[in-house]
Amino acid sequence: MFFLKRLLLLIPLLLVISFLAFILMRLAPGGPFDSDRAPASPEIERAIRAKYRLDEPVLKQYAHYLGDLAKGDLGLSTKYRNHTVNDIIVSALPVSMTLGGLAFFFALVLGIPWGVVMAVQRGQWGDYFWGLLSLLAACIPALVIGPILVLSLAVKAGWFPVALWESPLHVVLPTLTLGLLFAGKVARLVRESTTTTLQSEFITAARAKGLSESEILIKHALRLALLPVVSFSAPMLADLLTGSFVVETIFQIPGLGVFFVNSSLNRDYPLLMGLVLLYAGMLLFLNLLADLLLAKLDPRVKYE
């Protein structure tokens, strides 16, 4: 019931977001057809604006947009004039989802044990050592890690291709670059929440019951320790699945991240709208899943 209600609530929310984004875009100075070289006559510009309905009042444009949206048509990109927005999303989304999904998986599989190990060794040298590594992972930008990985593992060693998106081997370095950053953050969060949970009274109670340490850790403590990770993961996963500009640029990957940035910079209104809706839909849905998961991990969480 809760799930259904929240699911239905997505529609008005998406409408609100689409409206705000629509207005915001038009507030930014410059339009999609401004360029270094204006056409030979102002008439030409007028014709182009008319074709993309840019000469109408903003609200009317929005109404048109909603009308098309209801039919599932996200419109024609103003920059990629030979492509529809639907086309672009269909071609780039699977790429971003693959890369993002792998990076997410990598971040969790690496980050959670990493954090637990730090937590149980808290205050000892192991904690400092792993802590230092996790901080490095969380703090060094992909802009630096990416080229370093490429230069060392691809150009010098030749183990991996330097760029492009062709075979499973091509996926490794981008996944590492993207995943490390998040793995570091997840590790920091897990370390903290595990420490807190291990100190709480019900763990003491469980110890008193004579449960083994590892049982306590996995069956009880980790469950609760994952709460902040779940809250953090929903937006993180939405970010990852919709692509990363920097990683896609370094590795020349045909994903969505580049379109996000370029459509903003080119004022490609229809494309940016499509991407915002996609991202918002994904984010809202994942947050909903996260809320459900919170309740599942910790029975005391209730949304009445």
Rounded to a whole number of angstroms, the minimum distance from the CB of residue 174 to another protein is: 11
Give CA–CA dist 147/249, Å, rounded: 11
Specify the DSSP class assigned to residue 298: -
CB of 63 to another protein, least distance (A): 21
Task: Give the CB-side neighbour count of residue 250, counting CA atoms within 13 A.
Answer: 24
> Whose Cβ is closer to another protein: residue 65's or residue 80's?
80
Question: Encoding tokens for residue 197?
Answer: 């949970």
Residue closer to another protein by CB (options 21, 178) is: 21
In the chain the first and final C-alpha atoms are separated, in Å, by 11
**Measured from the CB of residue 149, what is the shortest distance to another protein in angstroms?**
10
Q: Both tokens of residue 150?
A: 């490429």
Instruction: Give the H/E segment covering residue 13.
Output: helix 2-27
Q: Which is nearer to another protein, 66 or 260 (CB)?
A: 260
CA distance 258 to 99: 14
Q: What are phi and psi for residue 74, nearest 5 degrees? A: -90, 0
Comparison of 52 and 65: residue with beta carbon closer to another protein: 52
- Nearer Cβ to another protein (189/206): 189
Residue 142, φ and ψ in degrees, nearest 5:
-55, -30
Q: Give bridge partners of residue 76 from the DSSP assignment.
A: 84
